[in-house]
Every structure is written in structure tokens, then in C-alpha cells.
């Protein structure tokens, strides 16, 4: 055996367990499974979870705010990013992303889906940088690349060709932002084009949808998911407008989302801070998370932006994002907190359609050993895991000094 984790506490299971790992896989888990092992970790009765999966982050924009002036609204931030993108070079984008990837790994994130802009400004430069880093970091983190037409495909028809080029370079999911188009009709056209391309290339869709309150693209998108038989292969991000619809219309949309097996990703960090409106009363900018979960929709949360014009902070730590969401979406009950811990693990893994993910014999030995016993404690502390393990190897050991050590 390569590695044994003793005294591990698991979600939904009473007692403490021993996890045996060999050749990058979980071999067995039991209460008494004595095995000779090259290396041992004593979890000391604390939680062990499968690796964190980051479902939504814009790695091509990270750290841009180190150089840029302040932005006061989403539209200002979009303009600043546009200006910055005109100056992107492969080396500059790569250097910024390379500084931030280790932050995620130290926080226990070893699988990530990242949206990378593809448009007339940055062309496919950022995708090229990302593909390079995906290879470089392949033993530490698995990366899915979403080719994201942030500036629209109807506004700039050349973008569609660039999306194809991005896919040939290695992008493996198709993104979108219907509301960026000039009219409702064009937004629908963008959605149609995204489905055509996704079907042609047999790729999943992950689309920013209704980031501001007055949009209603979700209804058309949902009908297209069903029409194109894309159930389980489509994700919508933000979906803030859902919080502004009246109860009757919101319930109808939630039922449609559930019936079409569409995943929803909320991004509390950026959206709580920017809100969804710029005039009082300002919204929190968070979709109806609890209603979606209650209806059986697969919901997760992401980091979105890190130190860029949309977000001055961001630490690539799912537990910080969950902590914010707990407040922002008023998820305070034990069952809410249980949902919060499933979102960056099992729910995100479902979005990325990961195979062999979890804590069962035969699953990949990608996991985190924490210093806390309960989900509630995890979010209260929102610290780094004690050990981050990938393919059965210890990548990171985070030492936490406490007063008891003195």
C-alpha cells in the first residue's frame, strides 16, 4: 500500500475509518483494515473529503487589478477588461495564471473548470497560455477550459471561427453570454449558435446567464437544452435575474431547469460585492440557491474572479466562497451547511462530469484531510486543509499553528 489515512471522519457515516490508497486509487475503506503502508497520515478524527472542484473561475483575468484603476460597476469592469485584453501577450497571461494556480492547490482544489475569453481583443492568446499551463501542471491539477465569447458571437461574427480555433487548441467546453448581444433576438441567436457548435463538436455548454435583473434568457436556453437533448450537459452561471422574477414565474423557471437537468453555478464573492443593480435598493446578486436546491437542481458555487476589475479580493478557496454564500443566501441550518459542503465537492464534480470521483474503493485518490470535524467547523474556520492529496501523493502539507502549540 502506498498511503494509509487513519482515523478519518467521513460525511454521512458514523465512526472513524481507515482509507487505503495504492497506485493513485482508493483500494479500500473500512473500520479495521490493517495494511502495511509506505506512508501514513493520522487524520485524528477529522474530516476527509474528496478533492475540491472549482467549477467557475476566470484564470485569464487573475491579478489584472494589480495594474488597473478602480471600477465601480459591472459595465465599467467589462470595459477595463476589454482595454486590458488588447495588450495581452501569451507570456503575460501565462505568468499571472501561474502565480495563482498554486493558491488553489494549497486550498485543496485539484480540479478546475476555467472560463477563458475568446474574442476580437484577446483572440485565442489566453487559451494558448492556458493549454500550456494545463500540460505543465497536469500532475497537480486537472483543468477544463471553457472557450468563453465574452463579447458575443452575433456582435462580432468572427468570434465563432475563433471559438473553433480555441477548441482545436484544446478548449473542451463551450461558454457564452447571451445578454451581451444588442437585442433579445440576437441573444437567442447566440444561444442557437452555441448549441449548434456544441453538438457539432460533442462538447458540454457552460453559459453565463442573466447576470443582471432584467434579463430572461434562461427560459429560451432551457427550452433549447430539452430540444437538443442536452440534459445533464449544460450549466448556467450566476442566474441572478431569477431572484428578481415574481414567485410564479420563478417557480416555473425552476421547474424547467430541474426538468432539463441544468446545473447552476452561483459566484457569491463577486456578486455580493457588485450586487445586481446599481441603484438602491441594491440586490445581493445571488440567485435563488435554496429554492433551486429544494427543487432538486444541482447547484454549486465558484470563485469567479480573483484580484481583477470585478473583485479586489479572492483567494481561490472554496471554503471562503461557501462561507460568503452561507450569509448571502441565508444558508444557516444544518441541512443548508450540508449542502454547502457538497457543492464544491460532489455537485461540482457532477458539473464537470468527472469519473471515479468520491470516496469509494476504485475512486481516484484525490482528497483533502482537514483539521476540523464537522462541515460547520470547516466553514467557520475556512482554512486550508492539513493535507492535499492528488493521485495518492501528498502535494501539500499545511501546518496550522494554534495557541495549544505554545
Q: Which three cell numbers stand for residue 357?
A: 470521483
- CB 265 → Zn ion: shortest distance, Å? 8
- CB 48 → Zn ion: shortest distance, Å? 30
Query: Looking at beta carbons only, is 181 or 304 nearer to Zn ion?
Result: 304
Burial label for 216, CB within 10 Å (0-12, 13-18, 19+), is: middle
Residue environment code for 182-204, b if the CB has 16+ CB neighbours within 10 A, otherwise e: eeeebbbbbbebbbebbeeeebb
Query: By Cβ distance, which residue is nearest to Zn ion?
Result: 304
Report d(CA 379, CA 334) in Å as an integer: 12
DSSP 180-195: GSSSHHHHHHHHHHHH
Query: Looking at beta carbons only, is 60 or 304 nearer to Zn ion?
Result: 304
All residues at 6 or more sequence positions from 156 whose CB lies less than 8 Å from its CB, including other chains: 119, 120
- CB 171 → Zn ion: shortest distance, Å? 16
Q: Are strands 25-30 and 263-266 parallel, antiparallel or unpaired?
A: unpaired
Check if the beta carbon of residue 115 is closer than 8 Å to that of residue 175.
yes
- CB 63 → Zn ion: shortest distance, Å? 16
Binding mask 142-171 for Zn ion (x = CB under 5 A): ------------------------------
- CB 303 → Zn ion: shortest distance, Å? 9
- CB 163 → Zn ion: shortest distance, Å? 17
Query: Looking at beta carbons only, is 305 or 371 nearer to Zn ion?
Result: 305
- CB 56 → Zn ion: shortest distance, Å? 6
Query: Looking at beta carbons only, is 274 or 317 nearer to Zn ion?
Result: 274
Report d(CA 102, CA 110) in Å as an integer: 10
296 φψ region: left (φ > 0), alpha (ψ -120 to 50), beta (else): left
- CB 217 → Zn ion: shortest distance, Å? 15
Closest to 114 (Cα-Cα) out of 68, 149, 147, 157: 147
Query: Looking at beta carbons only, is 177 or 359 nearer to Zn ion?
Result: 177
- CB 150 → Zn ion: shortest distance, Å? 9
How many residues form the binding site for Zn ion (CB under 5 A)?
1
Q: Which three cell numbers stand for residue 75?
A: 459595465
Query: Looking at beta carbons only, is 3 or 241 nearer to Zn ion?
Result: 241
Beta bridge partners of 42: 6
Query: Looking at beta carbons only, is 82 or 373 nearer to Zn ion?
Result: 82
Binding mask 290-319 for Zn ion (x = CB under 5 A): --------------x---------------
Query: Looking at beta carbons only, is 142 or 304 nearer to Zn ion?
Result: 304
Binding mask 372-401 for Zn ion (x = CB under 5 A): ------------------------------
Peptide bond just before 281 cis, omega within 30 deg: yes
DSSP 278-345: SSSSPP-----HHHHHHTT--EEE--B-SSBTTBS---S-HHHHHHHHHHHTT--SHHHHHHHHHIII
Check if the beta carbon of residue 283 is closer than 8 Å to that of residue 246.
no
Query: Looking at beta carbons only, is 9 or 96 nearer to Zn ion?
Result: 96
Interface residues with Zn ion (CB under 5 A)?
A: 304
Amino acid at each position: 500500500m502506498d498511503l494509509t489515512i487513519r482515523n478519518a471522519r467521513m460525511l454521512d457515516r458514523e465512526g472513524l475509518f481507515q482509507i487505503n490508497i495504492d497506485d493513485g486509487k482508493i483500494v479500500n475503506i473500512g473500520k479495521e483494515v490493517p495494511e502495511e503502508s509506505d506512508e501514513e497520515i493520522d487524520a485524528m478524527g477529522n474530516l476527509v473529503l474528496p478533492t475540491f472542484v472549482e467549477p467557475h473561475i476566470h484564470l485569464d483575468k487573475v491579478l489584472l487589478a494589480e495594474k488597473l484603476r478602480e471600477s465601480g460597476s459591472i459595465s465599467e469592469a467589462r470595459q477595463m477588461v476589454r482595454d486590458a485584453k488588447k495588450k495581452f501577450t501569451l507570456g503575460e497571461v501565462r505568468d499571472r495564471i501561474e502565480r495563482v494556480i498554486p493558491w488553489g492547490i494549497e486550498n485543496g482544489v485539484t480540479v478546475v473548470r476555467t472560463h477563458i475569453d475568446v474574442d476580437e481583443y484577446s483572440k485565442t492568446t489566453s487559451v494558448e497560455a492556458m493549454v500550456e499551463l494545463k500540460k505543465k501542471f497536469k500532475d497537480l491539477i486537472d483543468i477544463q477550459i471553457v472557450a468563453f465569447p465574452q463579447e458575443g458571437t452575433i456582435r462580432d461574427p468572427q468570434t465563432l471561427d475563433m471559438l473553433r480555433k480555441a477548441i482545436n487548441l484544446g478548449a473542451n467546453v463551450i461558454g457564452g453570454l447571451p445578454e451581451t448581444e444588442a437585442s433579445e433576438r440576437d441573444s437567442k441567436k447566440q444561444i442557437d449558435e452555441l448549441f449548434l457548435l456544441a453538438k457539432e463538436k460533442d462538447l458540454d455548454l457552460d453559459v453565463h446567464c442573466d447576470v443582471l435583473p432584467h434579463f430572461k434568457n434562461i427560459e429560451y436556453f432551457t427550452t433549447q437544452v430539452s430540444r437538443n437533448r442536452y440534459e445533464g450537459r449544460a450549466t448556467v452561471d450566476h442566474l441572478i435575474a431569477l431572484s428578481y422574477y415574481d414567485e410564479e414565474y420563478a417557480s416555473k423557471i425552476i421547474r424547467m431547469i430541474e426538468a432539463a437537468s441544468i446545473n447552476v453555478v452561483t459566484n457569491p464573492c463577486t456578486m455580493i460585492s457588485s450586487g445586481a443593480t446599481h441603484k438602491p435598493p441594491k440586490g445581493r446578486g445571488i440567485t435563488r440557491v435554496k429554492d433551486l436546491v429544494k427543487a432538486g437542481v444541482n447547484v454549486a458555487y465558484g470563485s469567479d474572479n480573483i484580484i481583477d476589475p470585478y473583485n479586489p479580493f479572492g483567494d481561490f478557496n472554496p471554503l471562503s466562497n461557501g462561507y460568503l454564500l452561507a450569509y448571502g443566501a441565508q444558508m444557516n441550518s444544518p441541512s443548508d451547511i450540508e449542502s454547502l459542503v457538497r457543492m464544491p465537492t460532489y455537485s461540482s464534480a457532477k458539473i464537470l462530469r468527472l469519473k471515479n470521483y468520491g470516496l469509494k474503493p476504485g475512486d481516484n485518490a484525490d482528497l483533502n484531510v482537514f483539521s476540523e470535524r464537522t462541515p460547520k467547523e470547516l466553514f467557520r474556520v475556512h482554512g486550508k486543509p492539513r493535507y492535499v492529496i492528488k493521485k495518492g501523493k501528498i502535494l501539500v502539507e499545511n501546518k496550522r499553528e494554534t495557541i495549544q502549540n505554545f
